[in-house]
Amino acid sequence: MAGWDIRPFDSLNRVRDYLNGVIIGTVDLSDGANVDTKTLVIDVDGGGNRTVTFAPAKSRDWTLAEIVAQIEAAHADLVGVPVVYIDAAPGGAVGPKFLVLVKDGSVITIQNTGTANTVLGFPAPQTIGDPVAIAELHSLVRDPDNMGRWVTAVYR
């Protein structure tokens, strides 16, 4: 059934990624994260859950590169799904780094059973699918109450 999907975003980069069909983590992982023995549960195209376990324990924060490598190593259909998103800071400086999940032509769901969800910035469950077609994007406007924020209105 078709319906409206209204979403706020803190930057145009985030809007672009949403329209392109990705799940963007909300936690800055520039300094890594303590995901020792935690899990991330991802379903790709309804093919069943793929559980990523961050083990063996490192007794320190995992780097973003280690997190990406562990997700890709967990299951063959997760290769290329995690990518690093670097938000540009004012003046062209490198800003915060986020984990992003994307897979062209697939539907990806982060299940709420993962124990690493909060640490990685994925409030679950969260599903992404195909990119938003231009005909589905009704509007993209600045939030009048917060000019640094953007709001999209999509009808699918």
Q: What is the pLDDT of residues 21-74, one digit of tens each?
A: 778 888 889 999 999 999 999 988 888 899 999 999 999 999 999 999 999 999
Q: How many helices (H) and strands (E) does the chain have?
A: 3, 10
Higher-pLDDT residue of 148 and 119 is: 119
**Total length of the chain:** 156
**Global pTM value:** 0.72
Question: Quick one: pLDDT band at residue 156, thresholds 50, 70, 90?
Answer: confident
